[in-house]
């Protein structure tokens, strides 16, 4: 009596009855690695940028300052600085931030009933309009019930776009794949959406 392994070899199958094994499904090719596009310092018609806007979800203003946040802002030298999730009430804003050179106009938004919860700051050399934070994430179908991507929140973002706000990255790079603005810690990511983004505008 042939060994079981021999029989498999003879009939070309792992099935003793000689039935062929079903073909394995081809593995999906991984998404291409994202690389930052080159910095655009001029418009398509050749106009050089005249306004630098920087936004950063700092996830805690005081910790951000201890890590050199104010020094980074001075080196980056934005005309407009927007900080999200400062977690700092207006009355507790450190003097170090109040005294940032070139950004005398500071506009704070803080939760009325929960001081220090999230909050945001916008600083500029002159008054400017609102700068919303829009979360763009992968696998939308699987995240329909996730915080930050619920139907109600997406409807709110849609109203912002309808009002004339622009997703600047998707406008400039509509075909970019693997580029998103939020990475959850639950997926073993290291940074969430806590990274600075700077836009150079010709106005």
Mark the binding-site residues for Mg(2+), compressed into ranges. 57, 85
Q: In the sheet that 120-124 helps form, which strands lie side by side, from edge to edge?
A: 105-109, 120-124, 80-84, 51-57, 197-201
Q: Are the C-beta atoms of 118 and 106 separated by less than 8 Å? A: no
The Cα 145–Cα 177 span in angstroms is 23
Q: Which two tokens stand for residue 114?
A: 């929960």
Q: What is the DSSP string of 50-88?
A: -EEEEEEE-S-HHHHHHTTHHHHHHHH--SEEEEE----
The Cα 67–Cα 84 span in angstroms is 16
Q: Are the C-beta atoms of 192 and 182 separated by less than 8 Å? A: yes
Q: Are the C-beta atoms of 179 and 31 separated by less than 8 Å? A: no
Residues making up the annotated binding site are 57, 85
Token pair 């977690």 in the structure block, residue = 87
The Cα 104–Cα 128 span in angstroms is 12
Q: Are the C-beta atoms of 83 and 58 separated by less than 8 Å? A: yes
């Amino acid at each position: 009596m042939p060994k079981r392994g021999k029989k498999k070899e003879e009939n070309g199958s792992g099935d003793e009855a000689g039935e062929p094994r079903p073909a394995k499904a081809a593995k999906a090719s991984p998404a291409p690695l994202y690389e930052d596009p080159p910095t655009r310092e001029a418009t398509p018609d050749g106009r050089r940028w005249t306004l630098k806007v920087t936004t950063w979800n700092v996830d805690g203003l005081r910790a951000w300052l201890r890590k050199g946040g104010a020094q980074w802002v001075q080196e980056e030298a934005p005309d407009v600085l927007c900080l999200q999730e400062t977690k700092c009430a207006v009355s507790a804003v450190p003097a170090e931030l109040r005294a940032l050179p070139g950004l005398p106009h500071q506009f704070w938004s803080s939760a009325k009933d929960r001081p220090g919860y999230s909050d945001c700051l916008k600083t500029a050399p002159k008054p400017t309009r609102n700068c919303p934070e829009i979360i763009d994430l992968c696998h939308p179908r699987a995240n329909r019930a996730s915080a930050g991507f619920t139907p109600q929140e997406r409807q709110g973002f849609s109203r912002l776009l309808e009002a004339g706000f622009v997703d600047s990255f998707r406008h400039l790079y509509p075909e970019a794949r693997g580029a998103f603005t939020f990475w959850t810690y639950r997926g073993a990511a290291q940074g969430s959406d806590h990274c600075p983004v700077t836009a150079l505008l010709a106005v």
